[in-house]
């Protein structure tokens, strides 16, 4: 059961925060939802946003400025938290890039993380089903996007589930996590040392195996003043993988922009328009 804990009028729609007891995670979870004004009279397309390291379900609705454009297009915005909270796993809060706030949108297989750290299944199945069953969101018209760790999550979930997600985009994604320190740390901790098992959560590996291409293209924006670009993000690896696989990709590189939400605010209108072209077709 979804429990509404916060609601605010926003661009003639409503911005809400919900919580619910998650069977997948085994703990209470929270997510934010923006319903545009069109949702008063009809089901609307839904766009899932996956946030980056250290963020919560509130980061995107507060910082991105997306509601204005979601209201114009008539698209709902759903943003889950970035990890389980309250599991009390030893060491879960010792580092900002692993554990709490750093779920990496995968299903952990290594103890003690495997019991609760199941963000991949939570986003793909439980959260999606709860939102589309209980709220005026059309389960047949869903897209997904995200930032950094969440960009990684959006790309991997979309590439593995094109039957669920019709559109996909990302801001500064961790595009080849098996080849960067963030990914190596997270994957070894959550999945163990078998690097072959890691590849199922690497967009640059998955794009060549995808059962169906996103013919409308994947949109990725990357700031060139991003401090994490040199050793964490690897957009050029994903770009090459898309070219080899014949997957249409628009990778835009922006001088002067860093990794934060001022960057996201600057290009969020383009991302909503990208998804609207597909979801409203």
The whole-number pLDDT of residue 65 equals 98
Of the listed 259, 271, 274, 275, which one is catalytic? Answer: 259
Show the domains of the chain with their CATH numbers: 1-278 (3.40.50.1820)
Query: How far is Cα 2 from Cα 164, in angstroms, rounded to an integer?
Result: 22
Q: Which runs of E-coded beta strand occur in the chain?
A: 3-10, 13-22, 27-35, 44-50, 76-80, 137-147, 167-171, 218-223, 249-254
Residue 125 is classified by DSSP as I
The whole-number pLDDT of residue 141 equals 98
Residue with tokens 């204005």: 68
In terms of Cβ atoms closer than 10 Å to its own Cβ (0-12, 13-18, 19+), residue 54 is middle
Our CA dihedral for 262, 5, 90, 128, rounded to 10 degrees, sits at -70
Of the listed 22, 32, 148, 204, which one is catalytic? Answer: 148
Q: Tell me whether residue 148 is one of the annotated catalytic residues.
A: yes
C-alpha pair distances (Å), 181 with each of 37, 141, 177, 215, 233:
43, 35, 8, 32, 10
Residue with tokens 């195996």: 209
Q: Residue 81: phi, psi to the nearest 5?
A: -65, 170
Q: Tell me whether residue 274 is one of the annotated catalytic residues.
A: no
The whole-number pLDDT of residue 238 equals 98
- Block means of pLDDT (10 residues each) for the chain, length 281 residues? 98 98 98 99 99 98 98 99 97 97 98 98 98 98 99 98 98 98 98 98 97 96 98 98 98 98 98 98 90
The whole-number pLDDT of residue 25 equals 98
> Do 58 and 261 touch, CB atoms closer than 8 A?
no
**Helix ranges restricted to H, the chain:** 59-63, 67-73, 119-121, 128-134, 149-160, 181-191, 195-198, 203-206, 235-245, 261-279
Q: Tell me whether residue 226 is one of the annotated catalytic residues.
A: yes
Of the listed 226, 271, 274, 275, which one is catalytic? Answer: 226
The whole-number pLDDT of residue 193 equals 97
> Do 49 and 275 touch, CB atoms closer than 8 A?
no
């Amino acid at each position: 059961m979804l429990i509404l804990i916060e609601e605010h009028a926003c661009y003639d729609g409503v911005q809400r925060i919900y919580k619910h007891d998650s069977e997948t995670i085994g703990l209470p979870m929270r997510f934010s939802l923006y319903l545009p004004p069109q949702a008063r009279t009809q089901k609307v397309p839904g766009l899932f946003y996956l946030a980056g390291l250290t963020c919560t379900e509130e980061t995107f609705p507060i910082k991105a400025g997306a509601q204005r454009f979601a209201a114009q297009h008539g698209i709902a915005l759903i943003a889950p938290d970035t990890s389980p909270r309250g599991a009390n796993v030893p060491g879960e809060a010792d580092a900002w890039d692993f554990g709490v706030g750093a779920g990496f949108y995968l299903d952990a297989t290594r103890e003690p993380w495997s019991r609760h750290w199941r963000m991949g299944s939570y986003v793909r199945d439980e959260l999606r089903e709860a939102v589309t069953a209980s709220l005026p969101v059309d389960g047949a018209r869903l897209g997904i996007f995200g930032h950094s760790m969440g960009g990684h999550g959006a790309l991997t979930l979309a590439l593995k589930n094109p039957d669920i997600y019709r559109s996909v985009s990302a801001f500064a994604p961790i595009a080849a996590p098996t080849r960067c320190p963030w990914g190596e740390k997270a994957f070894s901790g959550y999945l163990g040392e078998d690097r072959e098992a890691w590849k199922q959560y690497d967009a640059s590996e998955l794009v060549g195996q995808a059962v169906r291409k996103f013919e409308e293209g994947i949109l990725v924006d990357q700031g060139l003043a991003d401090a994490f670009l040199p050793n964490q993000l690897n957009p050029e690896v994903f770009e090459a993988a898309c070219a080899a696989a014949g997957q249409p990709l628009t990778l835009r590189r922006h001088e002067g922009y860093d990794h934060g939400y001022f960057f996201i605010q600057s290009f969020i209108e383009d991302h909503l328009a990208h998804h609207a072209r597909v979801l409203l077709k």
